[in-house]
Structure 1
Amino acid sequence: MEFPPFPKPENLEAALALQRALAQKVVLEGSLEGVRRIAALDASHKKGKPLVAVALLYHLKKGPLAVGLGVVPEEALFPYIPGFLSFREAPAYLQALSALPEPPEALLVDGQGIAHPRGLGIASHLGVHLDLPSIGVAKHLLYGRLEAPLPQEQGSAVRILSPEGRPLGYAYRSRQGVKPLYISPGHRVGLEEALAFVKGLPTRFRLPEPLRLAHLEAGRALLRTP
């Protein structure tokens, strides 16, 4: 498979302008009903080594089908700056997706969707770039606030609001007593639909199983990378 190349901005100002432009193209409606084949995306990096990204092709009925790998040398990476993660990781993700034997119908990304200062986290950026439905599943809240305290019970969810009070997604307790996940739509999916899709995924631990497996694969791949 081939995907359009990911632009590498010359500086932070160019990256900021591109984010603001692409944020206007994000579509916050749509359902993933009927989707069966997703790509779970996770990346791993250690100072002095390349960044390694994994695209795990996962069938909702059959389980994992294939793994694609992307590697970008450390010297070629966009600098690590909070809020600009997509410019650092997305080129490796495109490599990983290109290595899959068949294209996914949607993306499940370790990172933010629209719960981002400029409304374009990595899940939104990849979704718009590839014109695919996408959802961000983050381990930490980057932007916004919770509407109310999140209960400890498994399955509980509380809306994430922007400083102006606009809904951005949900804090979600995937298992009893574990730290929450932060679910936000990336592109071509609604807020409630994004939460419902993640809730419907098999979840043995904190992360939904497709993302947990992608995370493990990324860690193993990094260990193998010189």
Structure 2
Amino acid sequence: MKNSIVILLLILLSVLLIFSFHFIPEQEIVVDSTAEHIITKGLQETGSLNLVTAILYDYRAFDSLGESTVIFATVSAIVLLLSFKTLPVSSQGLSFIVKNTFGFLAPFIFLFGLYVITHGHLSPGGGFQGGVILSTISIILSIVYGSAYDYRKYPPKTKTLLETGGALLFLFIGGLGLVLKGYFLANVNPLINEPGRLISAGVIPYINIGIGFKIGAGLAIIFYSMIQKTYVEEELKS
């Protein structure tokens, strides 16, 4: 019954997504090259100082949605293939000095990752880059403190919720554009502000947040699934 509901919802969302293409308004014909158009009018049309982010989450937002879907499929496939053992595998980790050094550095890595995500429309960075930085915290925890420690602090269910929440936020923002402007992933601006401020560029910063948590949690899940398999193989050999 539950699987049938999920399949039905996916089919409904797919139909709505395809149907929304008919309502995309006609765009201005680009006389010069696309690059020239984005350079000269990108800030005016998107409000993003970072034109790379403007391309990823406005002009070519469907591409970013596709990339996120590929990552989601990759995480799901790896977890499915390597989930033959569900219990965490204990390990001792590294030395006392290494553990305390990373314990001191971890909050700064976390803050830097959040900065890269939330300022992606103002400076180089964004959800993909910031998400990779956040994932390193869980990855290094598994190496420095041991896989069992990472499992207790950040269990797979928590990471799955973060990844799913990031994907749903992306889809919700896309649906918001469909409701308010008539087509999916339209760059609506619920909090209008001048370019250069933290809250600006329409929905681009919020897409960055969703992508950041999705990428960070997804890469952490992939790493834990792979090292768990390695430890199990080593136990079987011994």
Q: State TM-score, norm by structure 2.
A: 0.27
Compare CA radii of gyration and give the structure with the larger one: 2
Task: Judging by fraction of residues, say which structure has more strand.
Answer: 1
Provide the TM-score with structure 1 as the length reference. Answer: 0.28
Higher relative contact order (CA 8 A, sep 6+): 2
The structure richer in helix per residue is 2
